[in-house]
C-alpha cells in the first residue's frame, strides 16, 4: 500500500443510488423484496437439487453452484445497501471495502465461467447425447467447479491487492452504492495506469473466453435444434435458449459496459445504475430462468410437496 495510506484512509463514504430520502425508503422496500426472493429462490433451488435424486446430473450440479454464486454475489452487496438506505452517512471501513471488492470480483468471475460451463454442458447433452456420460463424468464436474472457484478467488485477491496499493485523495466519497474498482480508481491520487490496464486485460480475457464458449455452444445447439423434426420440440428448445440468452446478454452486457468500455464513454452515475442489474436483478431472475421453466425441476418440486402433504396427513 502507498506510504501513509493506512493512517490516511480508515473508511470510505458511499454515495448510494440517490439523495432523495423518500426514494431511498421506496428503494429499501424494493431491494428488500428482491433480496428475499433471491435468497428463497437460490437457496430453495440448491436444497431441491440436493434432495431430489432425479436432479443429480451434471446440468443440475452446475445449476446448484450457479445458485450459490448468485446468492453469494448479491449477499456481498445487498444487505449493506439495505442498511445504508436507512442511514444518512453511508460509511464502510477500509478493510470491509477491500473484502467487498474481493468477494464481488470473485463471484462475478465465477458466474462468468459457470455460465460458459453450463452452455458447454447443454451443447454436449444436445449435440453429443451418446457421449454425454463419457464427456461429463462426475469427477470432471467437481474438478471444473474447484478450478472455477480457485481462479475466481485468485483474480479477486490480485485485483484488490493492486487497487488498495493506490494512494487515495482527501475525498473518500465513493460514487457508488458499494465498493468497486472503477469508482475507487476515480479517488486515486497515484497513477492508475497499471490498474486500468490490469482491469482491462483480465476482464477482457475472462469475458472473451467465457463468452466465446457460450456463443460457440449455442451456435451448435441452434444448428441441432434446426435439424429437429418435431415442431413442438423446436419451439420448446427455442424458448429455453431464448431465456438463457436473455440472462447471458444482460449479464455480459453490463460487465462489458462497466469494465471494458473507455471511461470517457459513460459516467460513474450511469455505471452504478447499470450495476443494479447484475448485482440485484440477475441473481433474482436466474432461478426463474434456469429452473422454474424446466419441467424436471417443477416435477421434482411437485413430488416434494406431495410427499410432505402425505406425511402431514399421516
Residue-wise pLDDT for 69-116, tens only, equals 999 999 999 999 999 998 888 889 989 999 999 999 999 999 999 999
Strand partners, 44: none
Instruction: Assess whether pLDDT exceeds 50 at residue 26.
Output: yes
CA 20 to chain centre: 28
Question: pTM value?
Answer: 0.88
Residue-wise pLDDT for 32-45, tens only, equals 999 999 999 999 99
Q: Which domains does the chain have, with CATH numbers?
A: 5-309 (1.20.1070.10)
- Quick one: 130 exposed, middle or buried, by C-beta within 10 A (0-12, 13-18, 19+)? exposed
Contacts of residue 95, defined as CB under 8 A and 6 or more positions apart, other chains included, come to: none
Amino acid at each position: 500500500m502507498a506510504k501513509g495510506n493506512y493512517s490516511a484512509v480508515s473508511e470510505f463514504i458511499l454515495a448510494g443510488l440517490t439523495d432523495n430520502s423518500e426514494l431511498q425508503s421506496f428503494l429499501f422496500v424494493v431491494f428488500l423484496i428482491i433480496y428475499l426472493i433471491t435468497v428463497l429462490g437460490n437457496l430453495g433451488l440448491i436444497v431441491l437439487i440436493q434432495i431430489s435424486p432425479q436432479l443429480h446430473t451434471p446440468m443440475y450440479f452446475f445449476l446448484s453452484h450457479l445458485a450459490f454464486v448468485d446468492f453469494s454475489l448479491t449477499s456481498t452487496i445487498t444487505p449493506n445497501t439495505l442498511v445504508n438506505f436507512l442511514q444518512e452517512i453511508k460509511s464502510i471501513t477500509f478493510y470491509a471495502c477491500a473484502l467487498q471488492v474481493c468477494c464481488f470480483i470473485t463471484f462475478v468471475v465465477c458466474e462468468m465461467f459457470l455460465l460458459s460451463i453450463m452452455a458447454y454442458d447443454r451443447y454436449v447433452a444436445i449435440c453429443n447425447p451418446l457421449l454425454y456420460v463419457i464427456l461429463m463424468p462426475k469427477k470432471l464436474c467437481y474438478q471444473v467447479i474447484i478450478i472455477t472457484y480457485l481462479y475466481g478467488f485468485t483474480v479477486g485477491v490480485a485485483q484488490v491487492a493492486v487497487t488498495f496499493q493506490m494512494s487515495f485523495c482527501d475525498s473518500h466519497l465513493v460514487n457508488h452504492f458499494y465498493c468497486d474498482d472503477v469508482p475507487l480508481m476515480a479517488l486515486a491520487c497515484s497513477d492508475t495506469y497499471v490498474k486500468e490496464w490490469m482491469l482491462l486485460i483480465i476482464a477482457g480475457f475472462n469475458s472473451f473466453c467465457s463468452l466465446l464458449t457460450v456463443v460457440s455452444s449455442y451456435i451448435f445447439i441452434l444448428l441441432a435444434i434446426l435439424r429437429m423434426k418435431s415442431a413442438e420440440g423446436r419451439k420448446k428448445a427455442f424458448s429455453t435458449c431464448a431465456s438463457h440468452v436473455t440472462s447471458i446478454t444482460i449479464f455480459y452486457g453490463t460487465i462489458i459496459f462497466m469494465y471494458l468500455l473507455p471511461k470517457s464513454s459513460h459516467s460513474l452515475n450511469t455505471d452504478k445504475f447499470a450495476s443494479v442489474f447484475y448485482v440485484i436483478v440477475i441473481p433474482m431472475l436466474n432461478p426463474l430462468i434456469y429452473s422454474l421453466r424446466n419441467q424436471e425441476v417443477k416435477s421434482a418440486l411437485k413430488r416434494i410437496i406431495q410427499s410432505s402433504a402425505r406425511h402431514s396427513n399421516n
